[in-house]
């Protein structure tokens, strides 16, 4: 993974702040200079509305806006907020913001460097920043993240939007001292923060800005919504999955699943399952548990559909976005990837023509709640395809129960899966028990993986090799014992039923 260089050799944070101030003094306080793009006519309104749609409800609440510039978000945030404190370190910009928004009586305008800013603990319900931290060093960014979590009230939110990887604007610059991090680096810093009152950031949502994908094929404009939660109340399952699906573990597992895949059979199986969805160019597809994007890229490339991939793992989505950036332009425009808990996020009703999910609902206990959400998001006549691990319809052994508890699995039988889908409103529910195919796929994959042992251990470790072999061997064993199986499910939302 490429790292950016925060400072040139011998350059301290104060020198960097001075350089950044000199950089911005070159530009007059205009919308084009704020966005450093000649495409502001399209981007400004579209991305603004999109970003605001990702914010939590802040009606009547205390909001802090950082890096406010000339106030293009100030004018939108203030009408709903109880009080808005808007901050920028360039006096010329904050003066223009005040000139444009002086009619808003619930706004305090502040000119100050964010690294010198301070407020009492528990001052704000929402802290909002747009294009700020790419102008701060690593140490400055970490320090401001630490201050923000203390400024937030319990259950308060921190929203940040940044340019990642590389420059997005097309205004010519003589010098560009901007620090383009990867989204993974922002995730890491956020996850290392603990507040004075023992709270942490929980990442609620992280995704690319769609306006940039559709206009430029650029997935590198990222936004993140985090929530301040008590460290003891943080989601243990999320923490477990983040640990299990660490960046290193994902890259290691891809050596047995195949590059860009995280479900058995890779592209061969994906090709067969996608046939069942009857996809057509231009359709909207929701891919839940998208992993690093294998199925999403396959569907977008071969069927011409727009795919919205969602996964709980920050590492999965980081890799999906990084790889999206390397695809051909028209394919990049068909994809968006998002970090979200599918049970906590919500989308507009009847947004999708098809919903696809491969081997991830086994982590969700409340499947009825999940299926009702999927039903609402599908358009009338829309199709659903799920593959998942299931329990066989036989008494569960104590040893298998220990295995599923260790794996944090919440397995249903194929029959109960079907019943839950029908109770959620789906029709034409079709199921298939693929236990024997499952065993063959696992045995074939494991056999091929074992032949790569020497190269794998060189790149990873003997322990990593043994862990993968043990995991796949256990699945083969439990499937052979008729305790574990692999089910496929297709269903349709009735044509004449509204969400």
DSSP string, 2-66: -----S-TT--HHHHHHHHHHHHHTS-SSHHHHHT-TTHHHHHHHHHHHHHHTSPP-TTSEEEEE
Instruction: Give residue limits of the domains in the chain.
Output: 13-234, 239-492
CA 354 → CA 47, 286, 345, 397, distances in Å?
26, 6, 18, 37
Per-residue pLDDT tens for 78-96? Answer: 999 999 999 999 899 999 9
With bands split at pLDDT 50, 70 and 90, how would you rate the model's confidence at 499? very low
| The CATH classification of domain 13-234, taken from the options 3.40.120.10, 3.40.50.970, 3.40.50.150, 3.90.1580.10 | 3.40.50.150
Domains 13-234 and 239-492 share a fold: yes
Annotate 121-130 with b (16+ C-beta within 10 A) or e (fewer).
ebbbbbbbbb
Which sign, positive or negative, has the C-alpha torsion 42, 183, 27, 51? positive
- Are 150 and 165 in contact by the 8 Å Cβ rule? The answer is no
**d(C-alpha 344, C-alpha 450), whole Å:** 39
In the structure encoding, which two tokens stand for residue 436, read together? 């024997």
Nearest residue to 201 (alpha-carbon basis) of 189, 183, 211: 189
Per-residue pLDDT tens for 223-264? Answer: 999 999 998 766 666 667 777 889 999 999 999 999 999 998
Say which CATH superfamily domain 239-492 falls into.
Answer: Vaccinia Virus protein VP39 (3.40.50.150)
User: Is the pLDDT assigned to residue 219 strictly greater than 80?
Assistant: yes
User: Is the pLDDT assigned to residue 361 strictly greater than 70?
Assistant: yes
Question: Which phi and psi angles does 118 have, rounded to 5°?
Answer: -155, 145
Per-residue pLDDT tens for 414-425? Answer: 999 999 999 999
Q: pTM value?
A: 0.90
Per-residue pLDDT tens for 444-494? Answer: 999 999 999 999 999 999 999 999 999 999 999 999 999 999 999 999 999
Q: Please state the rounded mean pLDDT for residues 47-68.
A: 95
């Amino acid at each position: 993974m490429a790292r950016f260089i925060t400072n040139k050799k011998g350059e301290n944070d104060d020198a960097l702040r001075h350089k950044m101030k000199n950089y911005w003094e070159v530009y007059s306080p205009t919308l084009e200079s704020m966005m450093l793009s000649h495409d502001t006519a399209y981007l400004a309104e579209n991305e603004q509305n999109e970003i605001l749609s990702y914010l939590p409800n802040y009606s009547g609440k205390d909001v802090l806006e950082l890096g406010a510039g000339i106030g293009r978000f100030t004018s939108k945030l203030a009408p709903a907020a109880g009080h808005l404190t808007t901050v920028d370190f360039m006096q010329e910009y904050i003066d223009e913001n005040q000139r444009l928004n002086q009619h808003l009586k619930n706004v305090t305008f502040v000119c100050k460097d964010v690294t010198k800013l301070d407020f009492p603990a528990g001052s704000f319900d929402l802290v909002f920043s747009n294009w700020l931290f790419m102008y701060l060093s690593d140490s400055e960014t970490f320090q401001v993240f630490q201050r923000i979590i203390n400024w937030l009230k319990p259950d308060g939110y921190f929203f940040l939007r940044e340019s990642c990887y590389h420059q997005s604007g097309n205004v010519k610059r003589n010098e560009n001292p901007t620090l383009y991090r990867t989204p993974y680096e922002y995730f890491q810093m956020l996850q290392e923060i603990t507040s004075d009152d023992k709270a942490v950031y929980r990442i609620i949502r992280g995704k690319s800005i769609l306006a940039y994908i559709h206009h430029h094929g650029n997935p590198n404009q990222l936004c993140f919504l985090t929530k301040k939660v008590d460290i003891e109340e943080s989601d243990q399952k999320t923490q477990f999955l983040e640990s299990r699906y660490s960046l290193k573990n994902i890259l290691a597992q891809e050596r047995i699943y195949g590059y860009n895949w995280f479900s058995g059979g890779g592209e061969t199986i994906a090709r067969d399952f996608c046939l069942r969805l009857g996809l057509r160019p231009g359709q909207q597809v929701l891919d839940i548990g998208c992993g690093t994007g294998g199925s999403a890229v396959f569907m977008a490339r071969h069927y011409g559909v727009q795919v919205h991939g969602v996964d709980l793992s920050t590492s999965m989505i980081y890799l999906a976005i990084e790889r999206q950036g390397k695809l051909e332009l028209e394919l990049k425009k068909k994809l968006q990837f998002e970090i979200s808990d599918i049970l906590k996020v919500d989308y507009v009703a009847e947004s999708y023509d098809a919903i696809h999910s491969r081997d991830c609902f086994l982590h969700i206990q409340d499947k009825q709640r999940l299926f009702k959400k999927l039903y609402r998001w599908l358009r009338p006549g829309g199709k659903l395809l799920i593959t998942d691990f299931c329990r066989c319809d036989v008494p569960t052994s104590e040893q298998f129960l220990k295995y599923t508890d260790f794996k944090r699995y919440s397995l249903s039988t194929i029959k109960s899966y079907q019943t839950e889908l029908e109770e959620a409103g789906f029709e034409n529910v079709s199921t298939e028990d693929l236990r024997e195919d499952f065993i063959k796929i696992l045995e074939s994959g494991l056999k091929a993986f074992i032949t790569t042992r020497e190269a794998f251990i060189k790149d990873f470790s003997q322990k990593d090799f043994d862990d993968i072999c043990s995991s796949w061997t256990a699945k083969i064993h439990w499937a052979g014992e008729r305790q574990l199986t692999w089910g496929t499910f297709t269903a349709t939302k009735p044509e004449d039923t509204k969400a």
